[in-house]
Amino acid sequence: MKLGRRLTLLGVTVVAAPLILVGCTADRGHEGKNGAGKAAPPELTVTPGDQAKDVPISAEVGTKVAGGRVTGVRIVDDKGKEVKAEPREDGSSWVPISPLQPKRTYTAEVTATGDSGRTTTRKTTFTTLPKSTKPAVTSTLYFAGNRTYGTAMPVTVAFDPPIPKEARADVQRRLFVKTNPAQPGVWSWVADGSQVYYRAPDFWKPGTTISVRAGLTGLPIGKELVGDQDRTATSKIGRQVSLEIDNATKQMSVLRDGKLVRKIPVSLGKPSTPTSSGKMVIMEKFQFTTFDTTGSADPYVVDVEDAQRLTWGGEFIHGAPWSEGDQGSTNVSHGCTNVSASAADWLMNITQVGDLVTVKGTEVPLTEGNGWTAWNVDWDQYVKGSALPVPAGLGPAPTHPNHPGAVAGGSPAPQPSVSGG
C-alpha cells in the first residue's frame, strides 16, 4: 500500500456522487537549495474546487497526482476541528469517516511528494449544501455488528424505493467493505435495484473479520432523492456448515467443513406450492414464530418452532411434527422444508445465519432477489451486476473443493410472509 494510504485517519464518513466541482489553489512546490535543474515537483489536483458552494455533505476530498503520491491530508471545519478521513484503496480521494454537516465550511490541505523528494501542497475551501428537503431513499443493511455469520454470508443492502440504473454507480461507490484476512469481492445489483450484494469469488474463510460501511447520508441519488443515513457493522465468519436438500431422495445432507455429519428426511412443497430450487442463505432464525397467510389464496395460521428463513417469500426450514409420517417420502408442505421436531431443534444448534442451503430437483427455480441470492449464479454472471468496473484478475480459485468450508451474523428481522406449513 502506498504511503498516502498508511497515513493516520484524518476525516469524517460518507457519501459522494462523483464530484463534478473541480479546481485547486496555487502550486506551492518547494525548490530546495538548488532548485534549478532538479526534477519538477509532482502535479496535484484537489476537489472540490476552492471556494466551491453547495457541495453535498457526502463530499470526498479528491486527489489526482502526476509524478508523485499523496503524503499528507488535513481537513478541518470552520471551527478549526479536525475531520477524520481515510483514503480509498485506489488513492483517488479521502473519505470523511462521518457525514459532513450541512451549511458548513471546510478546508482541506493536501501534500504530494515526488520521487525526487520535492513536494506540492494545495489547499481548497468549500461550503456544503443546506440540509436537504428532498425525499430520502430508505436503506437497510443486512449485516449486523458483533455477530458470527456463516461462510456464504453476503453483505446485503436493500433500498426503498429501488435504485435506478443511472444512480447505481454513485451509490455503489459509497458502499465499503474491509476484510481481514483480505478477501476482495464485488458488489452486484439485483435487476430491479432493490438489493445489492457483496461477496468474494469464493466463500469466506472461517475466522475472517468483515467491516462494512454504507455511507449514504445526503448522497445525491438521481435528481430527486438523497441517501438516508450512514450504517456500519463489524462481524466475524464462523465455522463452515452447509445444507444440501435433494427432492429426488427427500433427504437433507448436513455438512461441516465439507464432511457429512447427518442426513435428515424432509418433506418439501407439494406440487401446487413447490419449494424453490437454488442456492440460498439462511437469513434469520426463530425458536418460535407464527406463519399467517391470511388474505392469500390458501389462508392459514400456524405456530411453528425452530424456523430458519431462506427467502423473502416465506420459505423456511422448520419443525413440522404433523408431517413426520411424510418426511423422506412425500411432499406435503406449502413450500417450506419440513423436518421432524427433534431434527429442527438439532439444526438450530448447528447452523448460523449466512450458511449456504442448496435445494435441487423441485418444480421451480429460485427467483433472483427472493432472499439473499448472491450465490445462485456463477461468478462471471454475478459480476455483470456491478455498476462499477470489476478489478482485473479477480475470480474464483483455480480448483474448488466440493463444499465451501474446504476453501478456506444477525440482521434486521423481516416479518414472516406467506409460508409453508
Cα–Cα distance for residue pair 257/106, rounded to 1 Å = 51
| CA dist list (Å): 316 to 75, 284, 295, 371, 384 | 50, 10, 20, 11, 29
The DSSP H or E segment spanning 343 is: helix 341-350
Q: Could you give the CA distance from residue 409 to residue 283 in angstroms, rounded to a whole number?
A: 9
pLDDT exceeding 70 applies to what percent of the chain? 86
| CA–CA separation, 395 and 381 (whole Å) | 12
The parts of the chain modelled with pLDDT lower than 50 are 1-36, 400-420
Q: What is the pTM assigned to this prediction?
A: 0.84
272 contact partners, CB below 8 Å, separation of at least 6? none
Beta strands at 356-360 and 276-281: parallel, antiparallel or unpaired: antiparallel
Over residues 168-190, the pLDDT tens digits come to 999 999 999 999 999 999 999 99
pLDDT at site 293: 82
Cα four-point dihedral sign 261, 265, 270, 271:
positive
Check residue 294 and give its pLDDT. 82
Q: Give the per-residue pLDDT at 399.
A: 66
In 3-state terms, what secondary structure has residue 350? helix
Bridge pairing between strands 276-281 and 364-365 = parallel
Q: Residues 369, 245, 319, CA angle at the centre, nearest 5°?
A: 90
Asked whether 231 and 139 are in contact (CB, 8 A), the reply is yes
Cβ atoms 168, 189 nearer than 8 A = yes
CA gap 242, 403 in Å, rounded: 8
| Grid coordinates belonging to 375 | 450465490
Helix, strand or coil, per DSSP, at residue 101: coil
DSSP state of 420: -
Cβ contacts of residue 252 below 8 Å, gap of 6+?
243, 244, 245, 246, 263, 264, 265, 266, 337, 339
SS in 3 state form for 217-271? CCCEECCCEEECCEEEEEEEECCCEEEEEECCCCEEEEEECCEEEEEEECECECC
Task: Count CB-CB contacts under 10 A for residue 143.
Answer: 28
